[in-house]
């Protein structure tokens, strides 16, 4: 992810020095976690972004696209709870495992 507070225009200008086709649209995609896009290691070095050290295991992400009817059914099933909890429970039940978050 781009550094917080660094501003879009300076980042785009700096990236264009090394990557001429880089655009503000690409920066927006990097900054939006839904796209799952990040700078390459070379781009991170160019911008001076250092790796964050963490001792926590990485959480994996699943993204699915579903028809409106299925989405509405999942929304109804979740009720007042979160989608995250519902999906974790469904997956855990499907694979016969235990849900650690419950």
Average predicted confidence (pLDDT) for the chain: 81
Q: Where are the domains of the chain?
A: 8-47, 62-95
What is the pLDDT at residue 58? 65
For 11-23, how does the pLDDT look when each residue is reduced to its tens digit (9 = 90+)?
889 889 988 999 9
Q: Quick one: three-class SS letters along the chain? A: CCCCCCCHHHHHHHHHHHCCCCCHHHHHHHHCHHHCCCCCHHHHHHHCCCCCCCCCCCCCCCCCCCCHHHHHHHHHHHCCCCHHHHHHHHHHHHHCCCCCCC
For 13-55, how does the pLDDT look when each residue is reduced to its tens digit (9 = 90+)?
988 998 899 999 988 988 888 888 888 888 888 888 887 776 7
Largest pairwise CA distance in the chain: 52
> In this structure, are residues 39 and 30 in contact, taking their beta carbons and an 8 Å threshold?
yes
């Amino acid at each position: 992810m781009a550094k917080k507070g660094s501003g879009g225009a300076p980042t785009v200008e700096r990236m264009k020095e090394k990557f001429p086709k880089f655009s503000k649209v690409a920066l927006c995609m990097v900054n939006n976690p839904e796209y799952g896009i990040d700078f390459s290691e070379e781009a991170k070095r160019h911008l001076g972004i250092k790796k964050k050290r963490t001792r926590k295991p990485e959480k994996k992400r699943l993204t699915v696209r579903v028809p409106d009817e299925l989405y509405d059914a999942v929304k109804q099933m979740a009720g007042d709870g979160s989608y995250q909890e519902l999906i974790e429970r469904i997956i855990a039940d499907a694979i016969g495992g235990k849900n650690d978050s419950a």
